[in-house]
Amino acid sequence: MKFFLISDNTDAMIGMRLAGIEAKRVTSRDEAEKAFKKALSAEDIGILLITAGVAELCPETVKKLKQGNRPLLVTIPDGDGNGRNRDSITEYIRDAIGIKI
């Protein structure tokens, strides 16, 4: 299983590419939706990373994917720090399994 990043931020995209993660930069909702479709059609993508800006562009798609079981969707802060939440992983686990840790 591979990671894939959909980003609206060049710095986040470059950082992930340096770590060996394939990434797609988008600048509009339409581009983001196309990138989601491409990522979902790839059977080998198990974890889909998106920046906070992309999550804001496509809230309905993000909600739908978080309710599914594949791929695992993780929202990360972008290069400017937007979307930074100290407890985001804890909240994600609580939402996913219903247990506060």
Nearest in space to 87 (alpha carbons), one of 70, 75, 79: 75
Instruction: Specify the fold of 2-97.
Output: Rossmann fold (3.40.50)
50-98 confidence digits (pLDDT tens): 999 999 999 898 988 888 878 888 888 865 555 555 556 666 677 777 7
Domain spans, the chain: 2-97
Q: Is-contact 61 36, C-beta < 8 A?
A: yes
Q: Does the pLDDT of residue 99 top 80, yes or no?
A: no
Alpha carbon distance 10, 64 (integer Å): 26
User: What pLDDT, on the 0 to 100 scale, is given for residue 4?
Assistant: 94
User: What pLDDT, on the 0 to 100 scale, is given for residue 81?
Assistant: 56
Tell me the two tokens of residue 37: 């479709």
User: What pLDDT, on the 0 to 100 scale, is given for residue 17?
Assistant: 92
2-25 confidence digits (pLDDT tens): 999 999 988 888 988 999 999 999
